[in-house]
Amino acid sequence: MNLLLASSEIHPYSKSGGLGDMVGAMARAMASEGQQVAVVTPLYRGIRERFSELKKSDWPMRQLLGSQVVEASVWMLEANPKLTFYFIDQPEFYDRAGLYQENGADYPDNAERFIFFSKCVTQLARDLPAKPDVVHVHDWQAGLVPLFIYHLRERAGWGNAPRSCLTIHNLAYQGMFSRAHYDLTNLPLDYFHPDGAEFYGGLNCLKAGITFADAITTVSPRYAREITTEAFGCGLDGVLRRRQHLLSGILNGVDYGEWDPANDTLLPQAYSLENLEGKRACKLALQRELGLPEDADIPLFSNITRLVEQKGVDIQLGALEEMLAAEMQFVLLGSGSPVFARAYQNLAERFPTKVVVRVGFDHTLSHRIEAASDFYLMPSLFEPCGLNQMYSLRYGTIPIVRLTGGLDDSVIDIAEDEDRANGIKFNEHSVAALSKEIRKALVLFAHSDLMQHFRKNAMTADFSWKRTTAEYLKVYETALQLRPAK
């Protein structure tokens, strides 16, 4: 099958969170299973410098954006004969310090930046030599693509247009802009109504995708159920219920080529279930690096996260306050809200021998933290899929997670299945509930045989991409059968 994937971030070229990881891994997995894969993404600052294999194509990109003509060029990187990356080079839009924001504030022209990107994706879908059967777009930044394709197919004579698939990685981010921004789409006004791209008087890019895509997926089965309810629907639950027949939940896979302690070149020492000595060495090395007391017998908790309310960093702060009297250590690597960053830094100042906080985005440190930790905290308010709990499992780092979305789908608590237990789950979103789970973890840590049982189950859990790609291929097949291609 010929696929075109479109995403505003793709690891290893750009990443702000799980979206980049997922699309990068999906592209490689689909290609290695024999699909012909093209991927399109913006050319952000620094990509060309870090990846010298990029070549400029002579493909011109000219888009009407409202009343302006905006030009771009396309850079290409052929990773292998089955996988080509296309980068949209529009320096005014993408040559910036951040992907979407700086200092916690969104760029004011994000509508222009990503409506333009969506138009470039649509043009690429028409121009690619291997014409895509399916254009698979991710999140609101590419959310208008299904509408553009629909429009060209139904009203502008693009008879053999590809099918479109939208994956929702986080319903809380919808790309909502004012009515005036709809003009940037250059579409007729008759898509701008409550059954189209309009949402409370403004433009909603994700809603446009949900309404016009031929298939809709999200990143875990439980989240697929949750988002059709008012509590998790972020105002779009009604639209999602109407489109439920096209909606499926597919748990993300893990790229074990990158996240496997046996082959992780970013670790001071590799390790595996059969040889856990390396994990101990990683822990001592991280304690040394971060200036914590070096002692393998002190339980080490960690969290690598965007500092936003969704991630439960507020209740985590409260629970740590409550629990830090115990013998334990905690490491946070996070970026996002300056208010949360300050609060965590305060905690570190008050508990200098127990807490280390690193504010910023640091890919290599994130690997070292995963390997070094005994427990990984993920007390999210909601979590579409979550990747770090699955990385943690493979690294023998026991995840402590709230019972929501992909966290519930990927972690097994002892109450659910004693034999297969690999983590700790809790339900109530409160400081008291999380403190209780940290207390449980301390008990678990003190019982090395039980800890070993959890570690074994964790490290042998398998979330490889094979299952995930098979499920997506089924979704594509169904979309292709929706209507015979004209």
Amino acid at 287: Q
Tell me: does residue 457 bind ligand ADP (CB under 6 A): no
Residue 465 C-beta: closest distance to ligand ADP, Å = 15
Among 218, 305, 316, 410, binds ligand ADP (CB under 6 A): 305
SS3 of 58, please? Answer: strand
Residue 419 C-beta: closest distance to ligand ADP, Å = 27
Among 41, 122, 366, 422, binds ligand ADP (CB under 6 A): 366
Residue 18 C-beta: closest distance to ligand ADP, Å = 2
Residue 96 C-beta: closest distance to ligand ADP, Å = 19
Tell me: does residue 405 bind ligand ADP (CB under 6 A): no
Q: Are 152 and 469 in contact (CB under 8 A)?
A: no
Our CB check for ligand ADP shows the closer of 204 and 220 to be 220
Among 387, 421, 424, 459, binds ligand ADP (CB under 6 A): 387
Among 249, 334, 379, 423, binds ligand ADP (CB under 6 A): 334
Please identify which residue in the block is written with the tokens 């301390």: 442
Tell me: does residue 377 bind ligand ADP (CB under 6 A): no
Tell me: does residue 385 bind ligand ADP (CB under 6 A): yes
Written as six digits, the tokens of 275 are 């040889």
| Angle subtended at Cα 223 by Cα 165 and Cα 234, rounded to the nearest 5 degrees | 85
Our CB check for ligand ADP shows the closer of 129 and 360 to be 360
Among 335, 373, 397, 404, binds ligand ADP (CB under 6 A): 335
Residue 91 C-beta: closest distance to ligand ADP, Å = 26
| Angle subtended at Cα 425 by Cα 315 and Cα 305, rounded to the nearest 5 degrees | 50
Tell me: does residue 70 bind ligand ADP (CB under 6 A): no
Residue 219 C-beta: closest distance to ligand ADP, Å = 8
Site string for ligand ADP, 256-295 (x = CB under 6 A): ----------------------------------------
| Spatial CB neighbours of 245, under 8 Å, sequence gap ≥ 6 | none
Cα distance between residue 300 and residue 194, in whole Å: 50
Q: Are 141 and 175 in contact (CB under 8 A)?
A: yes
Tell me: does residue 386 bind ligand ADP (CB under 6 A): yes
Residue 163 CB-density burial (10 A; 0-12 exposed, 13-18 middle, 19+ buried)? buried
Q: Are 406 and 388 in contact (CB under 8 A)?
A: no
Site string for ligand ADP, 11-50 (x = CB under 6 A): ------xxx-x-----------------------------
Our CB check for ligand ADP shows the closer of 223 and 472 to be 223
Among 125, 304, 401, 475, binds ligand ADP (CB under 6 A): 304
What letter would DSSP give residue 191?
G
Our CB check for ligand ADP shows the closer of 72 and 168 to be 168
Tell me: does residue 333 bind ligand ADP (CB under 6 A): yes
Residue 363 C-beta: closest distance to ligand ADP, Å = 5
- Cis status of the peptide bond prior to 12, with omega within 30 of 0: yes
Our CB check for ligand ADP shows the closer of 17 and 42 to be 17
Tell me: does residue 388 bind ligand ADP (CB under 6 A): yes
Residue 3 C-beta: closest distance to ligand ADP, Å = 22
Tell me: does residue 379 bind ligand ADP (CB under 6 A): no
SS3 of 383, please? Answer: coil
Our CB check for ligand ADP shows the closer of 271 and 395 to be 395
Q: Which residue is nearest to ligand ADP (CB)?
A: 18
Cα distance between residue 333 and residue 357, in whole Å: 6
Query: Rounded to a whole number, what is the largest CA-CA distance in the chain?
Result: 69
Residue 171 C-beta: closest distance to ligand ADP, Å = 12
Tell me: does residue 404 bind ligand ADP (CB under 6 A): no
Q: Distance of CA 357 to CAs 102, 263, 283, 345, 348, Å?
A: 20, 27, 16, 6, 6
With contacts defined by CB under 6 A, name the span among 110-118, 191-199, 240-248, 301-309 that binds ligand ADP. Answer: 301-309
Amino acid at 159: G
* Kind and range of the H or E run holding 91: helix 91-94
Tell me how far the alpha carbon of residue 4 is from its chain's centroid: 18
Beta strands in 234-277 (DSSP E): 247-249
Q: Are 356 and 332 in contact (CB under 8 A)?
A: yes
- Full DSSP string of 334-347: EEE-HHHHHHHHHH
Other CB atoms within 10 A of residue 69 CB: 9
- Per rule CB under 6 A, count of chain residues that contact ligand ADP: 18
Among 33, 183, 237, 362, binds ligand ADP (CB under 6 A): 362
Our CB check for ligand ADP shows the closer of 196 and 384 to be 384
Residue 22 C-beta: closest distance to ligand ADP, Å = 7
Amino acid at 109: D
Instruction: Please tell me the chain's helix, strand, coil percentages from 3-state DSSP, rounded to the nearest 5.
Output: 40, 25, 35
Tell me how far the alpha carbon of residue 477 is from its chain's centroid: 24
Chain positions contacting ligand ADP, by CB under 6 A: 17-19, 21, 304-306, 333-335, 361-363, 366, 385-388
